[in-house]
Chain A
Amino acid sequence: MSNAPKNKRPTKRWTPARIGIYLFLISAAAFFLLPLYVMLVTSFKTLDDIRESSIFSLPATLTLEPWAIAWTSACTGLECTGLKVGFWNSVRIVIPSVILSILLGAINGYALAFWRSKYANLLFGVLMIGVFVPYQVIMYPLVRLLSTVGLFGSLPAIVVIHSIFGMPVMTLLFRNYYAGLPEELFKAARIDGGGFWRIFIELMLPMSTPILIVATIMQVTGIWNDYLLGLIFGGTELAPMTVQLNNIVNSTTGERAYNVNMAATILTSAIPLFIYLASGRWFVRGIASGAVKG
Chain B
Amino acid sequence: MRKQKPGKRPNWGLHLALLPMAITAIVGYLATLLWSIFISFTSSKMFPNTNLVGFDQYHKLFASERWQLSLQNLALFAVVGISLCMVLGFLLAVFIDQKIRSESIFRSIFLYPYAMSFVVTGLVWQWMLNPEMGIQSAVRRLGFESFQLDWIVTQDKVMYCIILAAVWQASGLVMAILLAGLRGIDEEIWKAARLDGIPTWRVYLNIVLPMIQGAVATAFILQAIGAIKVYDAVNSMTRGGPGLASEVPAKFILDHLFQRGSIALASAASVVMLLTVVALLVPYYYINKHQAAQKNAKA
Contacts and interface: CB of A to CB of B under 8 A. Distances in A.
Nearest to B37: A137
Interface string B1-41: 11000000001011001101110111111111101100000
Contact of A39 (B118, B124, B225, B270): B124
Given A129-B33, A272-B117, A196 B17 contact: yes
A56 interface: yes
A228 interface: yes
Interface in A1-55: 1-2, 4, 8-11, 21-22, 24-25, 28-29, 31-36, 38-39, 42, 50, 53-55
Contact of B95 (A24, A145, A275): A24
A145 B22 CA distance: 16
A97 interface: no
B226 A293 contact: yes
B16 to A, nearest CB: 8
A144 B49 CA distance: 13
Interface in B135-174: 135, 137-138, 141-142, 168, 172-173
B81 interface: no
A239 to B, nearest CB: 12
Nearest to A132: B277
Nearest to A190: B2
Interface residues of A, number: 96
Nearest to A33: B109
Given A132-B281, A133-B33, A145-B32, A242 B117 contact: yes
Contact of A21 (B20, B100, B141): B100
Interface string A195-214: 11100100000000000000
Contacts of B120: 242, 245, 265, 268-269
A273 interface: yes
Contacts of B22: 123
Contacts of A269: 115-117, 120
Interface in A101-152: 104, 107-108, 110-111, 115-117, 119-120, 123-124, 126-127, 129-130, 132-142, 144-145
Contact of A265 (B30, B31, B92, B123): B123
A32 B137 CA distance: 20
Contacts of B104: 280
B209 interface: no
A84 to B, nearest CB: 18
B13 A197 contact: yes
B222 A126 contact: no
B75 interface: no
A224 B222 CA distance: 20
Contacts of A275: 115
Given A130-B29, A141-B31, A115 B11 contact: yes
A221 interface: yes
Interface stretch (A60-68, A177-185, A281-289): A281-289
Contacts of B254: 136, 139, 228
A163 B28 CA distance: 10
Interface string B31-74: 11101100000000000100000000000000000000000000
Interface in A240-289: 242, 245-246, 249-250, 258, 261-262, 265, 268-269, 272-273, 275-277, 280, 283-284, 287-288
A280 B107 contact: yes
Contact of B28 (A36, A119, A164, A293): A164
Query: Which of A29, A39, A138, A261 has the most C-beta atoms of chain B within 10 angstroms of its own C-beta?
Result: A138
B183 interface: yes
B271 A137 contact: yes
Interface in B105-140: 106-120, 123-125, 127-128, 133-135, 137-138
Of all A-B residue pairs in the complex, the 4 with the closest CB atoms, nearest first, are A196-B13, A225-B117, A276-B115, A141-B32
Given A29-B109, A258-B133, A277-B108, 10 more contacts: A11-B99, A32-B112, A55-B138, A104-B21, A123-B22, A130-B24, A130-B28, A133-B33, A134-B270, A293-B226
24 contacts: A4-B99, A29-B106, A29-B110, A34-B128, A38-B124, A55-B134, A115-B14, A116-B1, A123-B26, A127-B24, A134-B229, A134-B277, A136-B266, A140-B36, A167-B24, A245-B123, A268-B120, A269-B116, A272-B117, A273-B112, A280-B111, A287-B114, A287-B176, A292-B222
